[in-house]
Amino acid sequence: MLFRIKKKPGWDSKKKRFNSRLSQLTPREREVLVFIAKRLPPKLIARKLSVSKNAIDVYRVNILKKMKTRTVGQLIAQAVCCVLVEIEVEQ
């Protein structure tokens, strides 16, 4: 089961802003963003990408700055709303 998100007024402008900010990320930062949005812990992300956990922490901070968000929760919400990541819900 996937959540369906209803479009609200201003949706298109938010999506354009998100995509504009997303284009500022490096390919590696985009890759890390997808893992973060899927709620994987930093240690597991580091293992999957063959880098240190500290490197993932640095990527996370850079992503938050470039995406102009303060928390990982806001970042995930943007990624989900702009269909960067689909949420699957187990029943």
Write down the pTM of the prediction.
0.73
Alpha helix ranges (H) inside 10-89? 11-22, 27-37, 42-49, 53-67, 72-81
Note the pLDDT tens digit of each residue in 8-66: 566 567 777 777 888 899 999 999 998 988 889 999 999 999 999 999 999 999 999 99
Which pLDDT does position 86 carry in this prediction? 52
45 vs 54: CA distance, rounded Å: 11
| Torsion on CA atoms 54, 27, 14, 11, rounded to nearest 10 | -120
Cβ atoms of 65 and 73 closer than 8 Å: no
21 vs 17: CA distance, rounded Å: 6
Note the pLDDT tens digit of each residue in 72-90: 888 888 777 766 555 554 5
